[in-house]
């Protein structure tokens, strides 16, 4: 039981870090800090991710963070790239696999 709780806390911390770095949740586009500005095409409640070797950009809803398959992709991204970099959230997944996953989540 304690192990499961520890895993949930770790996942929760990772999700909070993702939200803080990648989403428009709680931020405004008129921020005076240009480094904290988000692209205009990322609506509130969404975040940008990059998929595949070509780093194709996708805008996905924050609600997907709770989906088990998406959490698996996030775990793989953390293992391969970590979350502490300025390149955006990159997920090591082929585009066609990601598109299939998104079709299931919607």
Tell which residue, 44, 52, 6, 4, has the closest CA to residue 22: 44
- pTM for this structure? 0.64
Q: How far apart are CA 86 and CA 102, in angstroms?
A: 25
Digitized pLDDT (tens) for each residue of the chain, 106 residues in all: 444 444 555 555 655 555 555 444 444 444 434 455 556 788 999 989 999 889 999 999 999 988 998 999 989 888 888 777 666 788 989 999 999 988 888 7
* Calpha distance 6→1 (Å, rounded): 9
pLDDT of residue 97: 92
Q: Spell out the domain ranges in the chain.
A: 2-27+42-105
């Amino acid at each position: 039981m304690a192990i499961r709780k520890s895993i949930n806390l770790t996942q929760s911390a990772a999700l909070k870090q993702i939200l803080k770095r990648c989403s428009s949740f709680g931020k405004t586009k008129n921020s005076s800090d240009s480094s904290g500005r988000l692209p205009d095409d990322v609506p509130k409640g969404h975040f940008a991710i990059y998929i595949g070797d070509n780093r194709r950009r996708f805008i996905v809803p924050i609600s997907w963070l709770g989906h088990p398959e998406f959490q698996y992709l996030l775990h793989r991204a953390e293992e391969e790239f970590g979350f502490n970099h300025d390149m955006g959230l990159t997920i090591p997944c082929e585009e066609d696999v990601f598109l299939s996953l998104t079709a299931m989540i919607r």
